Amino acid sequence: MWWWRKVHKADIPLVARVLFERYGETVVALLLANALAEHTQLSTDTFRLGGMWEKTVVDIDAAAGWLTERAELAERREDRLETVEWAVLIFVVVGVVADVLLVLHH
């Protein structure tokens, strides 16, 4: 619908997107916060993400963009649920009014 939040697709590499999806929002947010807090990483623009055997260097902007995209998706999901709740409420009120009118008519 027109009032639902627009989701801006993050322009990030597919490898980074797959890693972010694998580890989830909480881990990516914690690693991003840690990378921003510690300036002793590779540089201020990247951080390492991966298991014990594999370490992938990921761009901080990519992680922030992906987290923003995920937040917008969650917000749009909430907008859809609220729309459904309002629709159900309106149908219930219309049904009650119709029942009252039917009872008063007879």
Could you report the per-residue pLDDT of 38-82, keeping only the tens digit for each? 655 545 555 666 654 456 677 888 888 999 999 999 999 999 999
Among residues 11, 7, 1, the alpha carbon closest in space to that of 74 is found at 7
Tell whether 5 is covered by a domain: no
pLDDT of residue 54: 55
Tell whether 42 is covered by a domain: yes
Tell whether 61 is covered by a domain: yes
Residue 37 pLDDT greater than 90, yes or no? no
Alpha-carbon gap, residue 51 to 40, rounded angstroms: 20
pLDDT of residue 45: 57
What residue numbers bound the domain in which 74 lies?
A: 14-80
Tell whether 104 is covered by a domain: no
Tell whether 47 is covered by a domain: yes
Predicted TM-score (pTM) above 0.85 = no
The domain tally of the chain equals 1
Q: Which residues contact 29 (CB under 8 A, 6 or more apart)?
A: 67
* Token pair recorded at residue 75: 């917000």
Could you give the angle at which helices 14-37 and 60-105 cross, rounded to 10 degrees? Answer: 100
Q: Pick the residue with more confidence: 73 or 5?
A: 73
pLDDT of residue 27: 87
Residue 96 pLDDT greater than 70, yes or no? yes
Tell whether 76 is covered by a domain: yes
